Amino acid sequence: MATQVTNYQCPSCTGPLHFSAETGKLKCEYCGSSFDPAEIERLYQEKTQAAAEADRQEDEKPAGAASGARAGSEWDEAEAASLRVYNCPSCGAEILCDGTTAATRCVYCGNPSVVPGRLSGNLKPDYIIPFQLDRQAAVDALKKHCRGKPLLPRAFRSQNRIEQLQGVYVPFWLYDCETSGRVEYSANTVRTWAEGDWDVTERTNYLVTRGGTVRFEQIPVDGSTKMPDDHMDAIEPFDYAGLVPFSLAYLPGYLADKYDVDQQASAERARKRAEQSASELFLASVSGYDSVTEKDRALDFAQKDVKYALLPVWLLNTKWNGKDYLFAMNGQTGKLIGDLPVSRGLACAWLFGIWAVLSALAILIQVL
């Protein structure tokens, strides 16, 4: 069953509109007009409602009304539950995507489209940080990322091709929370002095306790199983001054997903980070000792408020030697991360090169 999707068309020429990270406006590639997202949002509110109504009516049709003899095998239940079919409003082609896709691009005509219902109602994000860096910035950042890496295979640098480059609005939960409790530390001071022929070491041991509360604001945790957690963590931080109330008008031109890990499930990651930080902050208040070791920790995590936000991420996929490499760039700050391949040959060359030079110098010094 196909569902109607919305794409933002230019009010002047009906060409598709894309959100421009550079200007922060929706731009028509055909007539060059630019529009404020809020203005376009108003114009298309009615259209979105109409699409939702059409979707509802389609769903009410008797089962099998639209079905007929089909080639190919049947989707199994799990696959069918996760797949959605939409009609591209530009060329009419059917777009197949999973149940979490909120914004996509038609594979036939390239028209950017927003899937209705994915980011509305209870699923509507509170905030969004619009993309501020374009795809060229992502390409440049990857090149820069590869510089100054002596163990990077030369062939990766020269033959590496970006297979896929996508701007994605990733769903994040932003937790306002509080961690309170107490942490116990074993601490000691060490004093040494000489007494005749004896060296005396005196160690004084203390039990140090610090307790209190640490408040956190908007700890981000990505709510998408599609996104590797380590990649999403590593591109932090986002500048929250760039948060604006959510509007669908920011989505055209980019992919967007709705969350598939809810706020309760994601809260565990926020809790662990908050507790670790609280422990470190308490530890920072312990001074005057020669060594301090954490002994016991009793901390409570209290979730105060949660916001749902879409944050901009450029994802770059490359393939080298049959292996996929994923890089992620913060679409707001430009911070790019991703693991690079290591050349065993270069690693050995460096290891044995340094060894040979140092050994030669050391032997020369000893012999002379």
- Which 268-307 residues touch another protein, going by CB under 8 A? 270, 272-274, 276-277, 280-282, 285
178: Cα within 13 Å, side-chain hemisphere: 7
Regarding 215 and contact with another protein (CB under 8 A), the answer is yes
Q: Cβ closer to another protein: 91 or 351? A: 351
Q: Which of residues 85-124 bind another protein (CB under 8 A)?
A: none
Regarding 147 and contact with another protein (CB under 8 A), the answer is no
The answer to whether the CB of 117 falls within 8 A of the CB of 90 is no
Q: Cβ closer to another protein: 76 or 197? A: 197
Cα distance between residue 110 and residue 301, in whole Å: 46
Regarding 241 and contact with another protein (CB under 8 A), the answer is no
Q: Cβ closer to another protein: 39 or 217? A: 217
Q: Which listed range, 19-27, 128-136, 207-215, 259-267, lies at the site for another protein (CB under 8 A)?
A: 207-215
Q: Cβ closer to another protein: 150 or 322? A: 150
Q: What share of the chain is helix, strand, coil (3-state, %, to 5)?
A: 30, 40, 35
Q: Cβ closer to another protein: 70 or 147? A: 147
- CB within 8 Å of 325: residues ≥ 6 apart: 317, 318, 319, 338, 339, 340, 341
| Binding residue for another protein, selected from 101, 104, 111, 218, defined by CB under 8 A | 218
Regarding 237 and contact with another protein (CB under 8 A), the answer is yes
Nearest Cα residue to 47 out of 106, 89, 15, 18: 89
DSSP string across 312-326: EEEEEEEEETTEEEE
User: In the complex, what is the shortest distance from the CB of residue 207 to another protein, in angstroms, rounded to a whole number?
Assistant: 4
Regarding 214 and contact with another protein (CB under 8 A), the answer is yes
Q: Which listed range, 90-98, 132-140, 143-151, 241-249, lies at the site for another protein (CB under 8 A)?
A: 143-151
Strands 255-257 and 101-105: antiparallel
Regarding 225 and contact with another protein (CB under 8 A), the answer is no
| Cis before 171? omega within 30 | no
Q: φ and ψ at 264, to 5 degrees?
A: -70, -45
Regarding 13 and contact with another protein (CB under 8 A), the answer is no
Strands (E), the chain: 2-4, 17-19, 26-28, 34-35, 83-87, 94-98, 101-105, 112-114, 127-128, 162-195, 198-222, 244-245, 255-257, 291-320, 323-330, 336-337
Coil, strand or helix at 147:
coil
User: In the complex, what is the shortest distance from the CB of residue 262 to another protein, in angstroms, rounded to a whole number?
Assistant: 20
Q: Which of residues 329-358 bind another protein (CB under 8 A)?
A: 337-342, 347, 350-355, 358
Regarding 60 and contact with another protein (CB under 8 A), the answer is no
Cα distance between residue 243 and residue 131, in whole Å: 11
User: In the complex, what is the shortest distance from the CB of residue 194 to another protein, in angstroms, rounded to a whole number?
Assistant: 7
Regarding 150 and contact with another protein (CB under 8 A), the answer is yes
Regarding 155 and contact with another protein (CB under 8 A), the answer is no
